[in-house]
Structure 1
C-alpha cells in the first residue's frame, strides 16, 4: 500500500484521490523504513523484494521532502538582527477555523504579536465582530466574511493602496491583493483555495495558485504571497508557483514549519506559506502556538532591502513550466464549462 501510494503521487492528475498523496510524504517515508525493517526481519524470499521496493519508494519520498530539511541548501539567508528597522515589517497569517469560537485566544495572539500585516482566514461575521477591537487598531482593513469557511480579513498598518478582494477561480472563494509601502511599494497576495477532498478535485485550487503566480511574475514590484494554500510546499503545484512567480521560500534548508493539524505539528504538513521575491530579507520565521484552530499561526519579520540581499536567484522558468500552467488553466476552463 505504501509503495502504491508513492507510485500514485508520481501521476500528474487533478483527481483528489491522486493528489492527496502529495501531503503525507514524510509520514509515508517513516512507515516505509519501518516496513522494510519488518519484512527483512521476517526473512522470507519475497521480503527482500518488498524491502527493495520500500527502499526505492522511500528514496523518492526523501528526494521530494529533502529541501525542507536541514539537509537542503538554504535559498534565503536570514539576517542577523531580529529587530524591525527601516523597510521592515511583521506579518501574521492564521486560518482561525470558522467553527472555532474561542475568539479570545486569537485576540490575545494579535495583541501580543501586533503584526503590521494580518491575514485571517475562515472568518465569518461572528469572527469579524469578535475581533473588532483588534481590527480597529489598523488603518486599513479589507474583509470578506463568509459562512462557507472561505471568508477572510486582511489588515495593514503600512500605507495601502489597491487593496481589494478578488474571486480568482471560484465565485465563493475570495483572495486578497494589495499594494503596501515599506521603504518602497510591494504587492501582497493572500490565498486560501479549496483543498483536494472526496468529490473535490484540484482544478480550481491549481488555477487560483497559477493565476497568482502569473500576476506576481508580471508585477515589477517585490511580492509577498502568503496564506493557507491547502497544498504542501513540496507539491508540483507549489513548486510551479514558486518558479513562475519568481519566489523564494525561507523554509528551504531549515525545516517543514508544519502548521496542520495543530494538535500534532510533528506529524503534520506545511499548508500555510510565506513566499517572497528576492528583494526581501527575512529576519525571522516562526510557527506559533495553538490558539484553538486546526492550523497553527505563521509569523515573520520581513524587510525590503536597500541593496543586495545575499539571497539565491529564483529558479528559472522553463518552457515546460509555461506549458504546465497553460494546461492547468485549460483543465480549469474545461471543468467550468462542464459544470
Structure 2
C-alpha cells in the first residue's frame, strides 16, 4: 500500500481525536461549541478510519498502535454522547398504551427559513396532520400573511413577525391564557410563554424558544443561548408545573448545556431510547443533527414523534403528540441533578445577563 494513503489515514485519525478533545474545552466561543453538533459525523468518520487502519496489511509499529488507542478513546466518547438517542438505550418517556384523546396535545414545530416562499408545503403538512399547536420560527410579515389561511382552524394566535430571522408565530386550536412575549436577554430574540388548556380542561405551561446559535454569522459565543435556555429551565423547576418546551434551540440534545437544562428543569426528552429526529440541514443528508426539540414534564407520555417532509426550509418540521398521563410519573424519572448543577447554571445565567444586549421587560400579548 502506498505510504501516502497510510499517512492520510493516520492524519484523519488525529483530526478525529483533535475534534473530540477540542469539544471538551469548557468555553463558549463558536469555534469550540460548534463541535458539539457533528458528533454522528465525527463518529462515522472515525469508526471507518479505525477499521481501515486496523486491517491494513502493513507492519505495525508503536506510532500506529498509539494512534489507534487515541482514536478508540475518541470513538468511545462520541458513542457515549449519541447512544442514548438509539433503540439500545432505555426509553426516557413511556409509550402511551391506552389513548385518551381529550388528554392529548399534538404540536408541529417548523423553522420555515425566512426567504423560503414555499408556504404551501407547510400548509399542506398542517392540513394533513391537523396538529393542535403550530409553532413557526423565522416567520416574517410575508409568512404571516400566507398563514392566514389556517387561522379559521386556529383561532388563538400569537404573532411576532420579524425580519431578523427570529420572527415567531404560534397558532392554536386550544385556548391560550396568560400569554406573554418575553425578550429575555436580547431585544432581538423573542420567546412565547403561555398556558394552553387541553380538551380535558388540564392547563399546561408552554414555552416557545429560538435563541441565537453560536456561529461566525450569528453569535460569536453560545453564552446568550445557554443563558436563555437555563433561565427557562430554572423557572420551570421553581414553578413545578405541567409544561412543555419546544422550538429551535440551536443546540443538540447531547450538549453540556442541553443536558444541564434537562437536569435543572426536570424535563424529559422523548427521543431518548428511540431516535435522533435530525432536523437540520434538510439539504445535506450527511450533515444533519437535531436542532428542533420538544421537552416535557414527567406527567406526559409519548404517542408519536416524527420528522415531516421538507417544506422548502433548511429545517424539517417535527410533529409530536403527547398525552397527559399523571400515572407515568411513577415510571419516568428525570435526569439526576448533580451537586454542581445549580451553581453552574447560575454562573452561566449571570454571564448571559452581563453580556446581554438589553433586557426588555415582559410584553403582554393581547387580541389573540
> With structure 2 as the length reference, what TM-score do the two structures score?
0.87
Match of 1:276 in 2: 296
Give yes or no for contact 1:69–1:253 (8 Å, CA) kept in 2: yes
Counterpart for residue 70 of structure 1: 87
2:366 matched to which residue of 1?
none
Task: Provide the C-alpha distance between the structure 2 equivalents of 1:66 and 1:176, rounded to a whole number of angstroms.
Answer: 32
Q: Report the RMSD for the aligned CA atoms in angstroms.
A: 1.8
Structure 2 residue 273 is the aligned partner of structure 1 residue 253: yes
Deviations 1:190-213 (A, max 9, x none): 111011102621011001101110
**Deviation of 1:167 (Å):** 0.7
Structure 1 pair 337/191, CA: closer, same or farther in 2 (3 Å)? closer
Q: 2:185–2:357: 8 Å Cα contact kept in structure 1?
A: no
Alignment match, 1:88: 104
Change (3 A) 1:132 1:5: same
The gaps in structure 1 that reach 5 residues or longer are none
Task: Name the CA distance, whole Å, in 2 between partners of 1:59 and 1:330.
Answer: 34
Matched ranges for 1:99-248 at <5 A: 99-182=115-198, 183=200, 184-198=202-216, 200-248=220-268
* Distance change >3 Å, CA 84–CA 139, structure 1 → 2: farther
Check whether the contact 1:247–1:278 (CA below 8 A) recurs between aligned residues. Answer: yes
Bigger shift: residues 329-338 or 14-23: 329-338
C-alpha separation between the residues in 2 aligned to 1:65 and 1:302? Answer: 24
The CA distance in 2 between the partners of 1:283 and 1:134, in whole Å, is 24
Contact between 1:260 and 1:270, CA under 8 Å: does it hold in 2? yes
> Residue 47 of structure 1 aligns to a residue in which SS?
helix
Change (3 A) 1:179 1:103: same
Separation in 1, partners of 2:69, 2:237: 43
1:274-305 residue CA offsets vs partner (Å, 9 max, x unmatched): 10111112111111111111111111111112
Aligned with 1:49 (options 49, 66, 74): 66
Residue 27 of structure 2 corresponds to residue 10 of structure 1: no
- Alpha-carbon offset, residue 86 of structure 1: 1.9
Partners in 2 of 1:234 and 1:75 — Cα distance? 14
Query: Which has more radius of gyration?
Result: 2
Contact 1:39 1:50 (8 Å CA) reproduced = no
Q: Which sections of structure 2, spanning at least 5 residues, go unmatched?
A: 1-14, 359-368
For the 8 Å contact 2:186–2:357, the answer to whether it is kept is no
Q: Retained in 2: the 8 A contact 1:281–1:309? A: no
Change over 3 Å in CA distance of 1:306–1:48 after alignment to 2: closer
What number of residue pairs does the alignment pair up?
337
Deviation at 1:309, TM superposition (A): 5.2
Partner-residue secondary structure (3-state), 1:92:
strand
> What CA distance in whole angstroms lies between the structure 2 residues aligned with 1:21 and 1:220?
33
* Distance in 2 separating the partners of 1:57 and 1:323: 29
